[in-house]
Amino acid sequence: MLKLFRNLQVYQKMMMIFVLMLSLFYLVSIILTNYGKKNLEEQYLNSVQSKASFYGDLLDNQIYYIRTRQLQLFSNSDVKKLSFLGDQASGYEEVALMNGIKENLNNLNNASDLIANNGIVMESYSRVLSFDDGWIRDDGSTWKQLNKEIGQNSNNILTDYQGKFYFIALDKSESILSFIELSKSRLLADLSHIIEDKKDAGIFLADQSSNHLLVNQEKHQELIQEIIKRDPSDEEEQKPETFIVKNGHASYQVTSNEINDLGMTLYTYINRKELTEEMSHLSAGFLLLTVVFLIIAILFSWSINRMIHQPLNKLVSLFKTYQENSQKTPLDTKREGEFSYLYSSFNDMAERLDQSIKENYQQKLAVQKSELKQLQSQINPHFLYNGFYSIYRLSKMEDVQQVANLSQKLASYYQFITKNSQDEVEFAKEYKHALDYCDIQKIRFSNRIDFQASALNDDVKSIILPRLILQPIIENVFEHAFENSHNGILRITVTYQQPILVVTIEDNGESLTDEQLLILQQKLQHPEQVGETTGVYNVNTRLKIKYGKESGLFASRSSLGGLKIEMRIWAKEG
């Protein structure tokens, strides 16, 4: 990272440092703002949860008290006696028992504001005794209906009967029923204190089967159904008592509290926008701070670019231009103010460098050309004696056809060497010269060797290459691989995938060891370390000088068993 920073321009370093400092300040502002928002939101949410928990516990205690008082009715002596006598009770005794029971019902009704009505039904007595209606004769249908409701709502503590909420209890002897009607309006009024300051909020009660609902906001039915379907225990990041439900474009914070003695769950939901209304000033301040930061960054960037980056960029651009040996109009020293001294010095330096670069470049070209000439001149056809001796031997054998072939090949060979003064030739001519050399050697070795050469495509023939780059490689094969061979094979393959020309020369010689191959590979890879400048090393050096390090000779083991030399040249047609 430090190395990358050092390679940046001055303008980029200044901007990076400035942005880093500004970002740190901005990051601290973000952290403080988010911390404040989160803290306020948590306090607000805790307040709602505390209210919901307080009123939920208060309701739970009231319900527990009501249920306890309801069960105490079954142990009342008047209730027991009237249930035992039933319709047999009459006269003064019946009136006395009924007045005693009514007094208990009045006391129970006044025990809590949540009780709207309460009463007793006995299986043996054909009257319904209630706080509101007093004594009503009944044919037993009320007893049957209430018993039926108990059976159907055995899993629920609260019974929804005729649109009203009841606590229905049956004594141990199953002959006395007590019912208490809860006031829905009073129940909602007490619980509404939880959300009394909220606009888009609501509360509702729901039992486990979600059949019995008590809702204060009928317009939020869709949201209520979503809340009931939601399982808070599935939330990984939220506590089980609070979770978030989305309805349309709005998100609601939901809290839930179990009212155990009521057998229901108290839900509260509040639009999250209301939870964050008090934090709007923090968001506005943070937005203003962001705009200020952007303005500062833009002004600083523009001023630094104008005063420093543009003048320096001109200097850097001209340095690159002169490095590439191209010409450019000198800098105008009158227009750049305090950079005028640097510009003037650069113009003077550029004039001197131009002349020096031209001289050094021309000298370098001359040295390279001289080196190529020297390397090329080192190639000598030292097999001249063997060629004339082979003609003599064939003449003594009176093999006129072979004498003619060998003479013609020798003539073509020496014509290529002596009459062509050019440093470079078309690949087709260089390739023909190499094949002539192979034919001469084949006659010399009395047909003890065989060579295979691929035909040239038209797109390869016109490629211009240095002269005498194939013969030294083939000559090396005959000298080292076929000297004592009676069944030598030489294979020459030419492939061209523009712009790479590859000539592969392989043999089946048996004298090459792995150690010798490794030494040859190292010398070809590092020609500057090789003192010898003849033969294969000569060709390798010439190709790397002319075409670069990717070109040259590369040695490996041939599939025929001997040496494989691969000549790679990055060349172009014409």
Q: Are 551 and 544 in contact (CB under 8 A)?
A: yes
Name which of 346, 307, 316, 325 is nearest 8 in CA terms.
316
Residue type at 415?
Q
Residue 399: both structure tokens together: 């093999």
Q: How far apart are CA 208 and CA 157, in angstroms?
A: 10
Where in the chain are the domains?
76-182, 378-570
Residue 449 pairs with which residues in a beta bridge? 488
Question: From residue 411, how far is each of 88, 261, 478 by CA, in Å?
Answer: 154, 122, 20
- Diameter over CA atoms, the chain: 170
Summarised one tens digit per residue, pLDDT across range 16-29 is 777 777 778 778 87
Q: Are 117 and 178 in contact (CB under 8 A)?
A: no
**pLDDT of res. 237:** 44
**pLDDT of res. 280:** 64
**pLDDT of res. 236:** 46
Burial code (b: 16+ CB inside 10 Å, e: under 16) for 400-424 equals eebbebbeebbebbeebeeeeeeee
Q: What angle do CA 354, 343, 13 make, to 5 degrees?
A: 110
Residue 37: both structure tokens together: 């928002």
**pLDDT of res. 378:** 47
Grouping H, G, I as helix, E, B as strand and the rest as coil, residue 455 is coil
Residues 6+ positions from 178 with CB-CB distance below 8 Å = 70, 71, 73, 74, 118, 119, 120, 167, 168, 169, 171
Helix intervals (H) in 384-534 = 384-396, 400-418, 427-444, 458-461, 471-480, 514-525
Name which of 521, 509, 505, 519 is nearest 555 in CA terms.
521
List of the chain residues with pLDDT < 70: 1-12, 210-212, 231-240, 275-283, 309, 322-342, 353-354, 357-358, 360-383, 419-421, 530-534, 571-574
Q: Domain 378-570 carries which CATH code?
A: 3.30.565.10
Q: How far apart are CA 430 and CA 518, in angstroms?
A: 29
Q: How far apart are CA 485 and CA 441, in angstroms?
A: 13
Q: How far apart are CA 453 and CA 491, in angstroms?
A: 6
Question: Which phi and psi angles does 250 have, rounded to 5°?
Answer: -105, 150
**pLDDT of res. 132:** 86
Residue 352: both structure tokens together: 């001197």
Question: From residue 389, how far is each of 92, 240, 385, 396, 411 by CA, in Å?
Answer: 164, 107, 6, 11, 15
* DSSP H or E run through 179: strand 176-182
**Bond into 499 cis (ω within 30):** yes
Q: How far apart are CA 137 and CA 93, in angstroms?
A: 18
DSSP characters for 114-129? TEEEEEEEETT-SEEE
Residue 243 pairs with which residues in a beta bridge? 254
Q: Count of residues for the chain? A: 574
Q: How far apart are CA 207 and CA 228, in angstroms?
A: 10
Dihedral sign of CA atoms 424, 456, 485, 515 in order: positive
Count of other CB atoms within 10 angstroms of residue 173: 11
Question: From residue 90, how far is each of 87, 120, 125, 521 by CA, in Å?
Answer: 8, 18, 11, 130
**pLDDT of res. 502:** 94
Residue 269 pairs with which residues in a beta bridge? 202, 254
The 3-state secondary structure of 419-441, one letter per residue:
CCCCCEEEHHHHHHHHHHHHHHH
| Order of all β-strands in the sheet with 159-161 | 134-137, 127-130, 115-122, 176-182, 164-170, 159-161
Residue 515: both structure tokens together: 């150690």
Residues 6+ positions from 123 with CB-CB distance below 8 Å = 83, 140, 143, 174, 175, 176
Q: How far apart are CA 23 and CA 568, in angstroms?
A: 54
Q: How far apart are CA 141 and CA 145, in angstroms?
A: 6
